[in-house]
Amino acid sequence: MVSIVLVSHSRKITDGLKEMIEEMVDSTGDVKIFSAGGTEDGRMGTDPLAIYNIIKQSSDHRNILIFADIGSAILSAETAIDLIEEEPLKNKVTLVDAPLVEGAFVASIQAMVDDDIEGILAELQNI
């Protein structure tokens, strides 16, 4: 199974993208989408601990791909990764250098076909 973590300053962006992707991949069960936009209290912003908790929740998944849109969303994702103490878990996590919407969508579709990280990342080079 592959986890796709969506990180943005806006919960509306990540929730909407999560909904769109789940319409395409929900029937397989091979891909789990997580929305990590905004702050816990609903404000604009990012929360490294929320991202870290999603990573921990996905620890039994083969790959965990994080897509972040801009600035501190990327920094928050990097901070969440830095918080991981277990090397096997850290090795499953990839902060993907791709557009949030297109990248997460393509990765989700590719993960339905094959959850191999190299194949997913190769497909992302085509966007």
Distance (Å, rounded) from C-alpha 120 to C-alpha 34?
18
Q: What is the pTM of this model?
A: 0.94
Average pLDDT, the chain: 94
Residue 109 sits in a domain whose CATH number is 3.40.50.510
Active site residue 9: yes
pLDDT bucket at 27, cuts 50 / 70 / 90: low
- In this predicted model, what pLDDT tens digit does every residue of 57-110 receive, in sequence order? 999 999 999 999 999 999 999 999 999 999 999 999 999 999 999 999 999 999
Q: Alpha helices of 26-70 — where are they, by DSSP H? A: 48-57
pLDDT, mean of residues 31-38: 95
Q: Other C-beta atoms within 10 Å of 119: how many? A: 13
Tally of domains within the chain: 1
The predicted pLDDT at position 26 comes to 66
Q: Containing domain of residue 63, as a range? A: 2-124
In the chain, the largest separation of any two C-alpha atoms, in whole Å, equals 37
Instruction: Give the active site residue among 3, 4, 9, 21.
Output: 9
